[in-house]
Amino acid sequence: MSTPFVNPSGQDGSFYFIDIVAITVGKTRVEIDYKSDIRGTAISTWAHITRLPLVTYTKLRDEFKLQMGTNYPAAAVKEFSIFDTCYDTTDQSSITAPSMSFTFRNKVTVDLHVSGILYVVNSTLSCLAFAQTSNPGGFAIFGSRQQRTLEMVFDVDNGMLGIGQHGCA
């Protein structure tokens, strides 16, 4: 499966960018207008957590909260201030979260591993493993945590990113 690289305006070519078309949480597809909501998505090995502009992040977070329901009490986190959606998982032997997948251009859809959906801070706290970008109208970053179990092949000559599901263990 391959999706084309894009060159968002205002970028100097230091990163490889692709477009996110939708994010599916459970069975709900959250549509993204990649021409206005996100000005390109940088593929990153240095940013651990995926960061999304405000409009896109809010859609994802709100749908995630809706599907998590009241299974776990909400928890405030000061020491991990990048996260704003956390849950108290005290006395839980396992945590159930909705599935999540990203759809890129060319109908390339990849399922995220649970570790790319929930960040387990410790035995009593788990957080949605996404954050809002500091620049609301800027580009997104597809972080290394969400790339776990994906094989990413940069075909620079042909301007494509190949993505293989379950490529890395």
131: how many CB neighbours lie within 10 A of its CB?
A: 24
* Distance from C-alpha of 114 to C-alpha of 28, rounded to nearest angstrom: 17
Give the pLDDT mean for 55-68. 94
43: how many CB neighbours lie within 10 A of its CB?
A: 19
pTM equals 0.86
Q: What is the side-by-side strand order in the sheet with 160-165?
A: 2-4, 160-165, 150-155
Q: Which of 27, 37, 75, 83 lies closest to 59, judged by CA?
A: 37
What pLDDT, on a 0 to 100 scale, did the predictor assign at position 111? Answer: 95
The model's pLDDT over 90-103, given as tens digits with 9 standing for 90+, comes to 988 888 999 999 99
The model's pLDDT over 111-163, given as tens digits with 9 standing for 90+, comes to 999 999 999 888 889 999 999 987 766 788 999 999 988 999 999 999 999 99
* Distance from C-alpha of 165 to C-alpha of 109, rounded to nearest angstrom: 9
Per the listing, tokens 């399922």 go with 111
**Three-state secondary structure call for residue 116:** helix
φ/ψ (deg, to 5) at 125:
-145, 130
Report whether 74 contacts 54 (CB < 8 A).
Answer: no
